[in-house]
Amino acid sequence: GQSLEQPSEVTAVEGAIVQINCTYQTSGFYGLSWYQQHDGGAPTFLSYNALDGLEETGRFSSFLSRSDSYGYLLLQELQMKDSASYFCAVTLQGGKLIFGQGTELSVKP
Amino acid sequence: GAVVSQHPSRVICKSGTSVKIECRSLDFQATTMFWYRQFPKKSLMLMATSNEGSKATYEQGVEKDKFLINHASLTLSTLTVTSAHPEDSSFYICSASQGQGNQPQHFGDGTRLSIL
């Protein structure tokens, strides 16, 4: 079977740094993606790691260790607008995505 | 950047109605598109892979006669929910990738389907 584990919820304050972890067990792996979803909206692509290491895009960074089947999303200088659900997703052969259950991030003033 | 457009954004209709949802890649060609379903406060579940010019590939437990998928061109895939019932009410989202299939997916804005 396919499974991805991530925390169900995380709370942090404005300006802080937060890390959302994701571990996966899948048959096949081409990459790990992160998506942001606000209430009522569609997922927005944040980052993609196909190789081990850190990818940085502005305030967001994503890390992957394929040997550990582990990755994380790092959000820096948190803003209120970052309050949303964050999903990790594994890309399987053919491009289809298997999603984690999502982490609800609440940013407090 | 890659843009995926989905229409309509919201549908409310009576039980027994068939509903068609369109997914278009606006600035790139997509030989493969994907359809997902999401219930409130839940994750996205892959329903099927839409392949241009051939039959869709459905995930286990998804009724192919219930959810008809047509991918008639490199920029358009449609999902038709046939004889919809209240339990089909959900958020339906399509995605496509630019280039080869293992590239990151970009999602449409989703269709919120409510069956009365």
Question: Residue by residue, what is the 3-state secondary structure of chain B?
Answer: CCCEEEECCEEEECCCCCEEEEEEECCCCCCEEEEEEECCCCCEEEEEEEECCCCCEECCCCCCCCEEEEEEECCEEEEEECCCCHHHCEEEEEEEECCCCCCCEEECCCEEEEEC
Please report residues of A whose CB lies closer than 8 A to that of B46.
Answer: 96-98
Average pLDDT of every residue of chain A: 95
Contact list, A36 vs chain B (CB under 8 Å): none
- pLDDT at residue number B53: 83
pLDDT of residue B102: 63
> Which residue in A has a C-alpha nearest to residue B93's C-alpha?
A42
Q: pLDDT tens digits for B21-41?
A: 999 999 888 888 999 999 998
Residue range B90-100, pLDDT digits in tens = 999 999 877 65
Average pLDDT over residues B82-87: 96
Least confident range from A27-36, B15-24, B26-35, B83-92: namely: B26-35
pLDDT on residue A106: 97
Residue A96 has pLDDT above 70, yes or no: yes
Q: Which residues of A touch B43 (CB under 8 A)?
A: 87, 99-102
- Taking CA atoms, B18 is separated from A18, B2, B11, B66, B109, in Å, by 44, 30, 11, 10, 21
| Cα nearest neighbour of B34 on chain A | A96
Q: Is the minimum CB–CB distance between B50 and chain A shorter than 8 Å?
A: no
Please return the burial class of B37, using the count of CB atoms within 10 Å of its CB with bins 0-12, 13-18 and 19+: buried
Task: State which H helix or E strand residue A20 sits in.
Answer: strand A18-25
| pLDDT for res B99 | 63
CA B68/CA A48 separation, integer angstroms? 31
Q: How far is B63 from chain A (nearest CA, A)?
A: 18
The mean pLDDT of A51-60, rounded to a whole number, is: 95
Contacts of A42 in chain B (CB under 8 A): 6, 93, 107-110
Report how far Cα A80 is from the mean position of its chain's Cα atoms: 18
Q: Do A45 and B110 touch (CB under 8 A)?
A: no
Q: In terms of CA atoms, which chain B residue is nearest residue A48?
A: B104
Output the furthest CA–CA distance in chain A (Å, rounded): 42
Q: Is the model's pLDDT at B7 over the cut of 70?
A: yes
Whether the pLDDT of residue B104 is over 80: the answer is no
Whether chain A has a CB inside 8 Å of the CB on B54: the answer is: no
